[in-house]
Amino acid sequence: MQQFAALLAPSANRVYSRAAAEMTRNEIAVFSETLLDGRIGAVERTELGGVPYLTFEAEDLTRRDLTCLSNLSSLYALFTVRGRTLEPVELERLDRYDDDLLSILKYTGKTNEQLTKLLLNVTAAAAIPAERFASGRPRVLDPMCGRGTTVNQAMMYGWDAFGVEIDKKDFEAYSAFIQRWLKSKRLKHRAVSSRVKREGRALGQRLLVEFAASKALYKAGELQTVEMVNTDTLRSADVYKRRSFDLVVTDAPYGVQHGAVAGPKTVSRSPKALLEEAVRVWTELLRRGGAMGISWNTNVLSRDDLRGIFTESGLEPIETGPYRGFAHRVDQAINRDLMVARRPD
């Protein structure tokens, strides 16, 4: 049995940094339970040379297994432990692009990038096998995408990413950013803006971008897709076909700074009314065996309430040990948690 030591990356958000070790410990446990056939054990916080690490034991890890572990949300470096010596493990990150894709946009209410990556990771782990996580092209939808933090993380992995956002300013800000970023990186791409219509009625504006990590891939037709639509999330099923996504991942409104639209003429400061309607719509977009992951403020919606919303929509909440270990404090008004549910096969 080989022992490993994971050195965690610092976070610009000091509150999240204090929670990162426990969050990552449970993320490793989720990966073990889902992607790695239970081959990881004894995950502990350990000090080595006065520096904090997460250590764990594993046996017969394949390159695919190490690729999965290399993409843990807060991982900075990974080592094998040999007595008092740490031997670096070469990481196999999925990242295709420069990390400023995730960090350039700064705005009030932006979800912490490490939390976004963690939520995407544990949702994907519930729905897709390790081989597809490490080298596939899942289709990801964030149906309340804001300015695209989740969309960009999926894009970074080489996955196809789609977003729905009702706020026109957020839609326009993301549209301008992603096209400017692709040009600055000299990535060959094609961007098309259009109106989305159903039965002759306009639903909103759409930006569709097709691009590739290299000119050779673009020429070969190996294109990634990023798309954002400016419309109400309750109209998502009018925009996309049923069962067209592997993953639905979103950070729900916290009921603090932003109102949650719960219908065409009503606004609620609580996300409960919105999620009761929206989760049913999003479930129709999820393929059988796909997974939905939501992070939310437990001060305005209990875990039991969200579990009930998932269940009533035909989803199966995952309540095994590590999936219950992600609650953490954001500030005095926000205690955040996440929940993942699968659509039955």
Confidence of residue 198 (pLDDT cuts 50, 70, 90): confident
Q: Confirm if 315 and 341 have CB atoms less than 8 A apart.
A: yes
Q: Does residue 87 surpass a pLDDT of 50? A: yes
* pLDDT score, position 94: 97
| The pLDDT value given to residue 32 | 96
Among 76-90, 165-179, 250-264, the minimum mean pLDDT is found in 250-264
Residue 306: pLDDT band with limits 50, 70, 90: very high
Task: Kindly state the average pLDDT of the residues 89-98.
Answer: 96
pLDDT of residue 253: 86
User: Per-residue confidence at 331, pLDDT binned at 50, 70, 90?
Assistant: confident
pLDDT of 145 above 70: yes
Mean pLDDT of 197-216: 93
pLDDT tens digits, 60-82:
899 999 999 999 999 999 999 99
* Confidence band, pLDDT 50/70/90 cuts, at residue 13: low
pLDDT of residue 7: 96
pTM for this prediction: 0.93
Write out pLDDT tens, residues 33-51.
999 999 999 899 999 989 9
Task: Provide the pLDDT for residue 258.
Answer: 38
- Show the domains of the chain with their CATH numbers: 2-88 (3.30.70), 100-342 (3.40.50.150)
